[in-house]
Structure 1
């Protein structure tokens, strides 16, 4: 278990460092190519690596960190029960989107995010759906106490809120990543929301809701019992990726997407983390549940 935690932390740190390198390369080096000449040999090598594989690295490292976290806290079975639907359903949506325009609108990926599946979708894209989708849904599920007070309303609320957190990240990321000096995808017909069609958000909400529903059904016989401190990694991953998108949008001059993302993504994510049970609450609940069968046995003996 200790080795698992070490690898998880290494991948998480690498994920964040890769995002920082990516920001430096996209926002500073590319617009000012002469800066490369002023760097040391090590600095030039680092920037070349950043440009060649930084986007691929940060998504792979993010997926590895979150998968190891899921395996450590929930077990391998539940980790796979989220990973497989998230990757397969999001990839299906992306392949449909890039070939037919449904459900996101017409768009195409450019280079910079790795090998393209069927020549359309970089293999890293489903990985990003997985790791941001997982932390979004877990924050919503634990924060709404779905497994402590299970009900259909709480399950639906967690799926809807998890999909909203996921989509709010895209509010901020998509306009900047498609219009930066080194764009990673482009819209065939730019939409009304800072270049994005509103249909894109419906596609994100729908895709996220579908794979989160699939995971919820697969988890139905395995309740999740996590306390607030165990949600630190999901919150860090969500905020780090939101921070990356925020810097990109600020550099592009987009402020409204950031405000919407904070209101609909960051604020709810932090609130859900704060609502999650603390250690003392979790212990109290567990102690209460353990007292019930003891009382029942005493009554039976009488």
Structure 2
């Protein structure tokens, strides 16, 4: 992320910097600009999947990976070809091979890894598995989707309007170049695949005892920080403030609540055990 920020914010606006680099430095910078975004998303997805596998188990990890990738890819393909549900937009180069010539294969991976940490923070923070109820399930899905969408508040204006944009809107919208429809699409897509994951996890709840939430928070804040630097460099402060209120603050609160709940064991009622001893007669010769 840091290497990408240096390239996008420092090197591209000042190309003379490249000429001052050594031959190795020039090659490294060219490789970074050509494939840095791809590596960033692949490593993010791999890291979160490893975390999910180690803490949730392979079944739950796959039960989130597959719906999030397939449903987000469907939404992105619809969006880039019809304008629904995000609005009319197109991806440029820089994010890897495009599926059907429309959506880079890395985009569904980013939906997975940010969606996963957002949902885990919301689910554990609301103690869905400790005190299950329909209201808590709905709340976790809604909050998880809100955390995911709040990241896009900050990311989208900068990534579509930087000196090296990665996508563009056919008709710029009212919110710093983005249509409001985009946020509805993000919330809807996130809620759909989180709902599917919740249903798949129904008979296999998370064991909250000492459940580690630090990695999801670090992943969320790290990606939010990347988007924040991009947005502030582009002069977009209001999206950052909105993301801090609707994304970072709830994420930290959920982390605190979830960490506290994970460290508190459930009260177990003593169970009285009655042992009946049958009388045994021993015949002696």
Q: Which residue of 1 aligns with 2:257?
A: 275
* Distance apart, 1:41 and its partner CA: 2.8
Name which one, 1 or 2, has greater alpha-carbon Rg.
2
Q: Which residue of 2 aligns with 1:84?
A: 66
Q: Which residue of 2 aligns with 1:176?
A: 158
* Distance apart, 1:44 and its partner CA: 1.8
Change (3 A) 1:130 1:70: same
Structure 1: stretches of 5+ with no match in the other structure: 1-18
* C-alpha distance in structure 1 between counterparts of 2:11 and 2:145, whole Å: 34
* Distance apart, 1:48 and its partner CA: 1.1
Q: Which residue of 2 aligns with 1:93?
A: 75
Q: 1:207 aligns with which of 177, 189, 200?
A: 189
Q: Which residue of 2 aligns with 1:239?
A: 221
More divergent stretch after superposition (219-228 vs 88-97) = 219-228
Is the contact made by 1:228 and 1:273 (CA closer than 8 Å) also made in structure 2? no
Change (3 A) 1:150 1:196: same
Q: What are the superposed Cα offsets for residues 161-203 of structure 1, whole Å, 9 maximum, x if unpaired? A: 0000000000000000000000000001000000000000000
Q: What are the superposed Cα offsets for residues 118-167 of structure 1, whole Å, 9 maximum, x if unpaired? A: 00000000000000000000000000000000000000000000000000
1:21-100 mapped onto 2 (5 Å cutoff): 21-100=3-82
* Distance apart, 1:225 and its partner CA: 2.1
Q: Per the alignment, in what secondary structure is the counterpart of residue 176 of structure 2?
A: coil
Change (3 A) 1:49 1:148: same
Is the contact made by 1:82 and 1:215 (CA closer than 8 Å) also made in structure 2? yes
Q: What are the superposed Cα offsets for residues 273-296 of structure 1, whole Å, 9 maximum, x if unpaired? A: 0001448834x32xx33xx4x515
Q: Which residue of 1 aligns with 2:125?
A: 143
* Distance apart, 1:228 and its partner CA: 6.4
Bigger helix share: 1
Q: Which residue of 2 aligns with 1:185?
A: 167
Is the contact made by 1:227 and 1:276 (CA closer than 8 Å) also made in structure 2? no
Question: Does 1:295 pair with 2:271?
Answer: yes
* C-alpha distance in structure 1 between counterparts of 2:80 and 2:130, whole Å: 41
* Distance apart, 1:42 and its partner CA: 2.9
Q: Per the alignment, in what secondary structure is the counterpart of residue 230 of structure 1?
A: coil
Structure 2: stretches of 5+ with no match in the other structure: 278-285
Change (3 A) 1:280 1:101: closer
Q: Which residue of 1 aligns with 2:281?
A: none
* C-alpha distance in structure 1 between counterparts of 2:189 and 2:276, whole Å: 54
Change (3 A) 1:296 1:27: same
Instruction: State the number of aligned residues.
Output: 277
Change (3 A) 1:154 1:280: closer
Q: Per the alignment, in what secondary structure is the counterpart of residue 245 of structure 2?
A: helix
Q: What are the superposed Cα offsets for residues 205-230 of structure 1, whole Å, 9 maximum, x if unpaired? A: 00000000000000001111235661
* C-alpha distance in structure 1 between counterparts of 2:194 and 2:66, whole Å: 11
Q: 2:96 aligns with which of 86, 102, 114?
A: 114
